[in-house]
Structure 1
Amino acid sequence: MSVNRAKAGLLAAAVVPLLMASATVAVTAPSASAQPSGADACAHPTWSNKSPGKGTPKGDSAKIRTGPSEDCSVVKEVSGSTVLQYHCWVENDHGHKWTHVRIDGKDTNGWVYNDRLDDGGSKHPDNKC
Structure 2
Amino acid sequence: MPLKAGTTLFFHCWTINSYGNVWWYVRVEGTGWHGWISDANLVGTSVDENGDGQISFHQC
TM-score normalised by length of structure 2: 0.72
Distance 1:128 1:119, change over 3 A: farther
Q: 1:86 deviation in Å?
A: 0.6
Which consecutive residues of structure 2, in runs of 5 or more, have no partner in the other structure?
Answer: 47-54
The question of whether the paired residues in 1 share the 8 Å contact of 2:26 and 2:37 is answered with: yes
- Structure 1 residues 87, 95: closer, same or farther in 2, change over 3 A? same
Q: What's the counterpart of residue 9 of structure 1? A: none
Greater per-residue strand proportion? 2
Aligned-partner SS, 2:30 = coil
User: CA RMSD of the aligned region, Å?
Assistant: 2.4
Structure having the higher helix fraction is 1
Aligned residues: 52
Decide whether the 8 Å contact of 2:12 with 2:57 is kept in 1: no
3-state secondary structure, aligned to 1:78 = coil
- Stretches of structure 1 that go unaligned for 5 or more consecutive residues are 1-75
Larger radius of gyration: 1
Identity between Structure 1 and Structure 2 (%): 29
Q: Which residue of 1 aligns with 2:25?
A: 100
**Alignment deviations for residues 63-89 of structure 1 (CA, whole Å, 9 cap, x no partner):** xxxxxxxxxxxxx11111211111100
Task: Give the aligned residue type for 1:127.
Answer: H
